[in-house]
Structure 1
Amino acid sequence: MTRYLLTTWEGGGCVPPELGLARRLIERGHQVRVLACPAVEQAARAAGCEFSPWVTAPHKLSLAPEEDVMRDWEFKNIFKLFEHVLDVFLCGPSDKFAADTLAVLDNHPADVVLSDMMMLGAQMAAEKLKLPSAVLVPNISMRPAKGVPAIGPGFLPMRGPVGWLRDALLTKIGARIWAKGLPAFNRARAGLGLDALPEIFAQSDRADRVLVLTSPSFDFVPANPPANTVWAGPVLDDPSWAGTSWTPPWPESNRDPIVLVGLSSTYQHQQAAIRNAIAALAQLPVRGLVTIGPALDGEAIVSPVDHVVVVPTAPHSQVLAQASLAITHCGHGTTIRALAAGVPLVCMPMGRDQNDTAARVVARHAGVRLKPTAPEAKIRRAVAAVLADRSYTAGAQALRDAIAREAKEVDATALLEQLGSNTRATSPSSRVA
């Protein structure tokens, strides 16, 4: 038996795949303790994990908007948001994340430390104690790389001199912003007796493994990724709060295509977008299921028609097994579950990495992209177009087949087990299935 410490946070879509890996480790006879926001405790214990909360580091008690540390919906400029996140969460308090991690490890020793990509302080703590470690990337890869558009604007790949110039310029701008977090980042490292690093992403180079939890057929994979990085495929578990069963709420005689609407489990000021989606579906011959999620608990969002049903939550994997289309904010979890079911998408990205996830949907011809402010008429036309054009379904089904094939080739849980079987695992050759 190996003892794992999983350090993470209530970031919405990061929780289900990371706890999904924890559950799989427990099923194989290992022990997992989760160190996370108090808001994650119920889900962690439901997965069979032991639990410790962040104490001095920033944390959420719930998914309510007032609990959000970053309040990203208040930022219109993505670069200003980036700087803010570095200051209030990613780098500024990294010393506190490290201190909390060391305190938990002192009271609850572990053999391996697993850290969400955002938990830089926890990664430093593992490095200080010389514990085998893995960084979990529960979405598309965020690391700047040659030949891959910079994260943020949601650009598609562009070849030739213009594309190279565009990517080089944005990468340079991004590097300058990342560098603003370096002083606090390296102060935290110095406080632990660790050497300074030239860039923040170099922290993940100190880990034995970096598991990117998405499909390499979906992501834009660089030609030469770091040697310790593996595209290990998605973990498709639904969040624990979504429930375990779902019954279609329409009459059995209604055979219109099912359209699922899921616009974020965390708060992103998405009420208007949800209402516009409802109005669009109300005018189409579809069966609409609108899940508003826990962050909008208590919101007065209603449907004017019987064939569009609004519910607090539902297990998306079960709905998608019967769906013909999904309208999504393009959080990675909702997006990859839809694609794993072969369901095309109408994407309405609202921020974070969502515009870049949407770019990958468009690049694979598995859906279309709209602005989050798209009016009802534009959403209606997009839904009708994607349902009518079977090539979008074909694109989604091609990704479905690739995800299923890759799942047989790379076992993320086994990669984590290898860390516990060695005193210090050797860095693997990068593998892209």
Structure 2
Amino acid sequence: MSRNFLFALWAGGGAVPPALSVVRALRRRGHAVRVLADRSLHDEVAAAGGEPIAWTTAPQGDASDPATDVIKDFEARTPLGEFARLRDRIVCGPAADYARDTLAELRARPADALVTEQVLLGALTAGEAAGVPAASLVTTIYPLPAPGAPPFGPAFAPAAGASGRLRDRIVGGLMVKPWEKGLPALNAARTASGLPPVDSVIDAFGRVDRCLVLSPRALDYPGRRFPANVRHVGPRLDDPAWAGREPEAPPGEEPLALVGLSSSFMNQRRPLERIAEALGTLPVRGLLTTGPAVDPATIRAPGNVRVVATAPHAAVLRHAAVTITHAGHGTAVKSLAAGVPLVCVPQGRDQREIARHVEEIGAGITVRRNASPRRIARAVRRVLDDPAHRRAAERMAAEIAAETAADEAVAELEALAGRTRAPAAGHA
């Protein structure tokens, strides 16, 4: 039976392709899909088969353009500063605007289910007010507090003994505390939507019917226990429409190193050049993708490194021996799905955490954002010379293949669309 889905997305860089992959899969199943999104995403939405709809009052931006990016987290000096920008400019600050636009669309054209990127609490508020079954999409490792794992963010190793568990309790409490500053704006959005206030922002995240984690369960810590509404449905491995065709790698028989930092702007031109310089000292062939945020003509590279704007990573990884990456979830997981080990050079956001998880499964190593070319080259050599890293990546590839054999995300959403919820008072 064909269903009508309304998606709500924002220009969140690497969070966009996996969400649009779900849109594409639903369209192939014959469902109608509308997508509320920033205008900068409308071409991508249309390429996925969705009907793009612009936000009216909610923020509009382009993550690949530093002048129009909404959160501008590349200007933050600390991880807490990065978090505050996301909280104040997307999650909580404009929650009333997101709720207003989403409610208006649901009233104009009702939907069987609402699907939003997890951080859009305003859109989820609208779904709750309208009584529409709702799912949130987590496009990284599950980031909210859950027993059996360190708090998400500091990139801690799993706790060892009583002192480690004490560390997790203390730091976990400190990690939740900054959300309190966003609570008044979120509750104002809820009140305006006819809903009662919540006691915490974390509580609001948990009010969704289904939280679908588009990440391999095996990449998270094995002892972690999740809320009842959370489902790990496997990663999305198809490339975005803008990735284009597979370019030619530099000629030769040396191992191929794929390089890819963020598709959004993170001041990554100098790190890209340091990586290129590092590869120039090694017996490898490098294919360096700058992404939409960096002009490839601005990157100095040695003769054994080809610099291109875009490439379909899933296709290139069939030939790669190592990936050097910021440890964005999409690039990291596609590499693991291909059995390719990683050198992680985190630039910010969730990337330090993903790099830690890659190290914990033995599939790669991490160097600092400002690592010298010499240190990067040493890390690449270690990954290439130690077969244990590739074996660990290949084990993860087998796990991902089993997890993605069926499209569990689509199955969950189709089941959700068949449910009903009572709307909040005043929204019947």
Alignment TM-score, normalising by the size of structure 2: 0.95
| Residue of structure 1 in register with 2:364 after alignment | 367
Cα distance, 1:247 vs structure 2: 4.0
| Residue of structure 2 in register with 1:112 after alignment | 113
**Which 10-residue stretch deviates more, 365-374 or 164-173?**
164-173
Paired with 2:306 and 2:171, the residues of 1 have a C-alpha distance of 42
| Residue of structure 2 in register with 1:250 after alignment | 250
Cα distance, 1:260 vs structure 2: 0.3
| Residue of structure 2 in register with 1:429 after alignment | none
Question: Do the aligned residues in 2 keep the contact of 1:147 with 1:164 (CA within 8 Å)?
Answer: no
| Residue of structure 1 in register with 2:321 after alignment | 324
Cα distance, 1:386 vs structure 2: 0.3
Is the alpha carbon distance of 1:250 and 1:265 closer, same or farther for their aligned partners in structure 2, counting shifts above 3 Å? Answer: same
Aligned pair 1:66/2:73, yes or no?
A: no
Is the alpha carbon distance of 1:123 and 1:29 closer, same or farther for their aligned partners in structure 2, counting shifts above 3 Å? Answer: same
| Residue of structure 2 in register with 1:417 after alignment | 414
Deviations 1:172-216 (A, max 9, x none): 111211111111111111111111112212223322211010011
Cα distance, 1:62 vs structure 2: 6.1
Question: Do the aligned residues in 1 keep the contact of 2:219 with 2:361 (CA within 8 Å)?
Answer: yes
Paired with 1:158 and 1:331, the residues of 2 have a C-alpha distance of 24
| Residue of structure 2 in register with 1:122 after alignment | 123
| Residue of structure 2 in register with 1:176 after alignment | 177
Amino acid at match of 1:325: V
Cα distance, 1:422 vs structure 2: 2.8
Question: Do the aligned residues in 2 keep the contact of 1:150 with 1:174 (CA within 8 Å)?
Answer: yes
Cα distance, 1:409 vs structure 2: 6.2
| Residue of structure 2 in register with 1:137 after alignment | 138
Cα distance, 1:124 vs structure 2: 0.4
Paired with 1:219 and 1:248, the residues of 2 have a C-alpha distance of 35
| Residue of structure 2 in register with 1:51 after alignment | 52
Residue aligned with 2:278, SS: helix
Cα distance, 1:102 vs structure 2: 1.2
Is the alpha carbon distance of 1:79 and 1:409 closer, same or farther for their aligned partners in structure 2, counting shifts above 3 Å? Answer: same
Residue aligned with 2:258, SS: strand
Structure 1: where are the runs of 5+ without partners? 426-433
Cα distance, 1:85 vs structure 2: 2.2
| Residue of structure 1 in register with 2:306 after alignment | 309
Aligned pair 1:343/2:344, yes or no?
A: no
Amino acid at match of 2:358: V
Deviations 1:124-156 (A, max 9, x none): 000001001111001110101222212222111
| Residue of structure 1 in register with 2:212 after alignment | 211
Amino acid at match of 2:94: P
Question: Do the aligned residues in 1 keep the contact of 2:96 with 2:189 (CA within 8 Å)?
Answer: yes
Residue aligned with 2:343, SS: strand
Paired with 1:222 and 1:132, the residues of 2 have a C-alpha distance of 30
**Which 10-residue stretch deviates more, 403-412 or 287-296?**
403-412
Is the alpha carbon distance of 1:85 and 1:62 closer, same or farther for their aligned partners in structure 2, counting shifts above 3 Å? Answer: closer
Paired with 2:243 and 2:363, the residues of 1 have a C-alpha distance of 25
Structure 2: where are the runs of 5+ without partners? 423-428
Residue aligned with 1:374, SS: coil
Is the alpha carbon distance of 1:154 and 1:111 closer, same or farther for their aligned partners in structure 2, counting shifts above 3 Å? Answer: same
Paired with 1:174 and 1:250, the residues of 2 have a C-alpha distance of 45
Cα distance, 1:78 vs structure 2: 1.3
Report how many aligned residue pairs link the two structures: 421
Paired with 2:103 and 2:164, the residues of 1 have a C-alpha distance of 44
| Residue of structure 2 in register with 1:267 after alignment | 265
Deviations 1:369-396 (A, max 9, x none): 0101000000000001100000000111
Paired with 2:77 and 2:155, the residues of 1 have a C-alpha distance of 15
Residue aligned with 2:11, SS: coil
Aligned pair 1:334/2:331, yes or no?
A: yes
> Percent identity of the aligned residues?
42
Is the alpha carbon distance of 1:59 and 1:285 closer, same or farther for their aligned partners in structure 2, counting shifts above 3 Å? Answer: same
| Residue of structure 2 in register with 1:398 after alignment | 395
Paired with 1:220 and 1:116, the residues of 2 have a C-alpha distance of 23
| Residue of structure 2 in register with 1:9 after alignment | 10
Residue aligned with 1:13, SS: helix
Amino acid at match of 1:156: A
Paired with 1:361 and 1:76, the residues of 2 have a C-alpha distance of 25
Residue aligned with 1:385, SS: helix
Which residue of 297, 317, 325 maps to 2:295?
297
Amino acid at match of 2:155: G
Cα distance, 1:80 vs structure 2: 2.8
Aligned pair 1:151/2:152, yes or no?
A: yes
Which residue of 280, 283, 286 maps to 1:285?
283
Is the alpha carbon distance of 1:63 and 1:29 closer, same or farther for their aligned partners in structure 2, counting shifts above 3 Å? Answer: same
Residue aligned with 2:87, SS: helix
Residue aligned with 2:77, SS: coil
Amino acid at match of 1:283: T
Paired with 1:314 and 1:223, the residues of 2 have a C-alpha distance of 35
Amino acid at match of 1:313: T
Paired with 2:75 and 2:403, the residues of 1 have a C-alpha distance of 38
Aligned-residue Cα RMSD (Å) equals 1.5
| Residue of structure 2 in register with 1:228 after alignment | 229
Question: Do the aligned residues in 2 keep the contact of 1:145 with 1:222 (CA within 8 Å)?
Answer: no
Cα distance, 1:299 vs structure 2: 5.3
Paired with 1:352 and 1:327, the residues of 2 have a C-alpha distance of 17
Question: Do the aligned residues in 1 keep the contact of 2:42 with 2:52 (CA within 8 Å)?
Answer: yes
Amino acid at match of 2:367: L
Question: Do the aligned residues in 2 keep the contact of 1:38 with 1:62 (CA within 8 Å)?
Answer: no
| Residue of structure 1 in register with 2:355 after alignment | 358
